[in-house]
Every structure is written in C-alpha cells, then in structure tokens.
Amino acid sequence: MKTLVTGGAGYIGSHAAIELVAAGHDVVVLDNLSNGTRAAVEAIGRLAGRDVPFVEGDIRDSACLDRTFADHCFDAVLHFAALKAVGESVAEPLRYYQNNVAGTACLLERMAAHGVKTMVFSSSAAVYGDPATTPINENCPPDPKSPYARTKLIVESLLRDTHAADADWRISILRYFNAVGAHPSGEIGEDPAGVPQNLLPFVAQVAAGRRERLNVFGNDYPTPDGTGIRDYLHVVDLARGHVNALDYLATRTGVAVHNLGTGRGHTVFEVVRAFEAASAREVPYRIAPRRPGDVVVSCADPARAGDELGWTAEYDLRRICEDLWQWQSTHPHGFRGIKA
Ligand code: NAD
Ligand code: WQD
C-alpha cells in the first residue's frame, strides 16, 4: 500500500510513518512545517531504513494536493495535520476552523477527485468534554469544551456526511487519549515550541534542568492524591494503532470510531514519581491553582479497539518515562537546535 501522511513531520505522524514503513507501506509525508520539522522527516528515513519522500505543502492548497496525488498513486491517507493547542484555539478560533476544518474539507475534495477514498483521521478524547462516567466508551455523547475540540467533532461530521453521499468511502476515526513518550531510539519525540502546555514534556524539561519546577494544577480534586487523572498512551502504541486501522479498513467501507487509550489512569504525582525514577533526577514542583477547563478524570474504555482492530497498548508509564527521558536527555532542545 502507498499512504500519504499529512502532518508527518510532527510528533505523532512521524512515529506513525515509521510503523507504516515497518509494516510494508510506502509512505509520503506532506507537512507545511508550521509545527513539524525537516529533521523529523530525516529521522523517519534513518529509522525506517529508507528515504521517505517529503512534500512541503499545505492541506488547504488544492494545487499542491493535486500535484501530490498525480505524482503518487495513493491507497490511503493518514490525516494528522492540524493545529492542536487548546488555549490558542480559544484565542484564535478562526485560525483553528480554517486550518483544521476547511483544511480537511479541501483534502477530502482532492482525495475524491483522485479516487482515493480511504482515510484514518486523528480525532481526540477532547470531543468527550467532561463526561459523567468513566472510563469513556465511544457511545459517550460528545460535548467538546474548546474551539480545538469542536474542530475535531465537526470534522467527524464532515467525514460521516462524505460517506453518506458516497458509500465507497472507508473512514477510521481514532479518538486519542493523552499521547506521550518518544521512539525508543531516542531519535524522534515531541518538540514543543515555547513553554510546554502538557504535563509530560514539562516534567521532562524540569528533569533536564531547562525549567525550575513543575506547577501542579490543583491537589484538591476527588482523586486518591488530589491531582488529575489521565490515560497516558505511549506514542509508539498509538502509532501502531494506525496500522491496525488501515488493515481494518481494507475489508470494509463505512465510518468506524475507536478510542485509543490504555484503559489505565495515572495522577500527576504518579507521573512525577515515575519520571524521577526513569531519569534518576529530581522533579521539583509546587502546587498551583486548578487550570481552567481541566477535567478530574479522563480514562479510555479501549475495548472496541481491542475487539475490532486487534489493538491494545503494550507500554506502561515506566516505559513511557524511560523513552521520553532518552529523547529529552539526548535532544535537550528537541529538533530546534538542529532545525534546517
Ligand atoms: P503536531 O503539531 O506535532 O503535528 C501536526 C503536524 O501537522 C505538524 O507537523 C504541522 O506542521 C502540520 N500541519 C498543521 N497544519 C497543517 C496544514 N494546514 N497543512 C499541512 N501540515 C499542517 O501534533 P501531534 O501531537 O503530532 O498531533 C497530530 C494529530 O493528532 C493532530 O490532528 C492532533 O489534533 C491529534 N491529537 C493529538 C493528541 C496529542 O496528545 N498530541 C491527542 C489527540 C489528538
Ligand atoms: C494532564 C494533567 C493537568 C501541565 C491535553 C489537551 C487534549 C489532548 C491532550 C489533543 C492534568 C496536569 C499539566 C502542567 C499539571 N490533545 N498538568 N501541570 O489537559 O489531559 O489534554 O492534551 O487532542 O485536547 O487538552 O493533558 O498533559 O495538559 O494535562 O499539573 O504543567 O496534568 O492539570 O491533570 P490534558 P495535559
């Protein structure tokens, strides 16, 4: 199979590209480098053992997409390209709708024009909002709380409507829980620009001495140690899920929705302790006010992905921290220091 990976120069897409090549796919990466790097694409080539063609381009650029689809005979598209910062989406909603929603509409239109009707879409557990019960299964009614999360839910509707109008489409919607960790090689990983907004990258930078201490956002939640609980999923497990999703689509048309998570939750303090053990460094912290918009617990029920995709997460929190530390300690400034 030949697969186009949009957003493949970014964090999850680069890991997925490696797993795809390992599974025998030919891969082409398309990315506008708004948050991805050429260095990541080069690392994919090294780790995959073969060059992966790269198109610097935007999913909103029809002419660029037409050239790319004319140059390659794709069987499927893995669609990672999106803006993903929740706070930024509140401040700049139109940019998020433009990029994530209009961009996906443009991509789907050009795919249809070139007869490519198989897509795996990166959705998010953020579409569930703050559900009444946990763990969360796919029947939980969506209630997105930010413009970012709403762009994901709107794209899900866009995909359903696309299939309703043309039953040949094969669509997999994957709702990721918290993607974390790095490739075991330590050669690729998450490379946040500026101050990390998410827990694991922040903790890693504290352990590395780049930041003084972690702010723990609230220690008075109704959880065993008072801090928030999340379902942290190793990015390589997540990447493997995309190979399973493509295999699943090979035998059926329609629109499928699957949660990708471990089904296990960890508190902020559990993460801090696990990272201290993995890095043999101290992670100083202080208790800060709750972060607006945070939910108490977010944990996946991944049973459907197990039953239908044959996918389960293999790596635990210890391994997540070890692999993230390998990346952080060998690339203290991420790819940025070596950006072309
Ligand atoms: P990322 O920012 O590292 O990767 C996204 C890539 O898409 C970047 O390389 C960026 O340059 C590219 N891109 C953005 N807009 C583009 C456009 N218009 N045209 C071409 N390329 C464009 O983010 P990530 O963490 O790898 O996330 C990948 C996908 O997974 C996103 O759709 C995100 O919303 C989704 N997701 C991520 C998480 C998470 O925990 N990181 C959780 C749920 C869902
Ligand atoms: C985890 C826990 C924080 C930072 C976000 C997006 C979501 C998804 C994944 C894309 C919470 C606490 C955090 C810090 C802290 N992305 N925390 N100090 O909020 O579950 O999910 O990323 O779809 O849409 O919202 O992840 O890593 O930011 O927070 O105490 O400096 O760590 O309060 O309990 P979150 P996170």
**227, 230, 238, best to mutate for ligand 2 pocket (most atoms within 8 Å of CB):** 230
Could you tell me the distance, in angstroms and rounded to a whole number, from the CA of residue 230 to the centre of ligand 2?
8
What distance in Å separates the CA atoms of residue 111 and residue 99, rounded to the nearest whole number? 17
What distance in Å separates the CA atoms of residue 199 and residue 192, rounded to the nearest whole number? 12
CB distance 157 to ligand 2 below 6 Å = no
Catalytic residues: 148
Q: pLDDT tens-digit profile of 236-247?
A: 999 999 999 999
CA-nearest residue, atom 27 of ligand 2? 198
What's the token pair of residue 6? Answer: 């949009």
Mean pLDDT of the chain: 97
Position 337 scores a pLDDT of: 66
Could you tell me the distance, in angstroms and rounded to a whole number, from the CA of residue 307 to the centre of ligand 1?
27
Q: pLDDT tens-digit profile of 116-174?
A: 999 999 999 999 999 888 999 999 999 999 999 999 999 999 999 999 999 999 999 99
Cβ atoms of 296 and 231 closer than 8 Å = no
What's the token pair of residue 340? Answer: 């072309």
Atom of ligand 1 nearest to the CA of 176: 43
Residues with Cβ within 8 Å of 188's Cβ and at least 6 positions away in sequence, in order, are 14, 15, 18, 40, 43, 44, 47, 182, 327
**3-class secondary-structure state, position 131:** coil
pTM score of the predicted model: 0.98
What distance in Å separates the CA atoms of residue 316 and residue 50, rounded to the nearest whole number? 29
Q: Residue 334 is which amino acid?
A: G
Q: pLDDT tens-digit profile of 68-93?
A: 999 999 999 999 999 999 999 999 99
Could you tell me the distance, in angstroms and rounded to a whole number, from the CA of residue 219 to the centre of ligand 1?
30
Cβ atoms of 8 and 31 closer than 8 Å = yes
Q: Which residues pair with 31 in a beta bridge?
A: 56
